[in-house]
Amino acid sequence: MNTQTLDQEALSNNVKNTRHWIRLAYMMLYSILLHLAGAVMWMVCVVQFLFVLGTGTDNTNLRILASGLTRFIQQSLLFVSYNSENKPFPFDSWPAHQEEEIAEEGVIIEAEATEETKSRMEPKD
């Protein structure tokens, strides 16, 4: 256990540092986004389950959406727990799914990006 005494000047400087307060604002924003993402993830899971009940197979688009949500949740938790300094979506691009995660009947499916998705992914001048 750390037995260092609390330096009043250092504490005062830390409290006055606006960077810490800005981070707190981002953390509060991501706490709200995490709750929303969790609710959406549960809806996706329920819809996927109903899809499997109705058709006997899962829906690839729902798996892609769930993959992106999973990565967003992970990135957000890493940020709010101080394990990452990178702010996730909407301050960064939406996390892309890994194509090898999206498999059907043992065959890898490469999800083709639409023209809109491709244009959003291209760097802007």
Interacting residues of 3 by C-beta distance below 8 A, sequence separation 6+: none
User: pLDDT digits over 67-91, tens only?
Assistant: 999 999 999 999 999 888 888 887 6
Interacting residues of 41 by C-beta distance below 8 A, sequence separation 6+: 66, 69, 70, 73
Global pTM reads 0.66
Tell me the pLDDT band of 115, cut-offs 50, 70 and 90. Answer: low
Structure tokens given for 97: 């799914």
Each domain of the chain, given as residue ranges in start order, spans: 17-121
Gap between the Cα atoms of 118 and 111, Å rounded: 12
Tell me the pLDDT band of 3, cut-offs 50, 70 and 90. Answer: very low
Nearest to 65 by CA among 43, 97, 113: 97
DSSP letter, residue 94: P
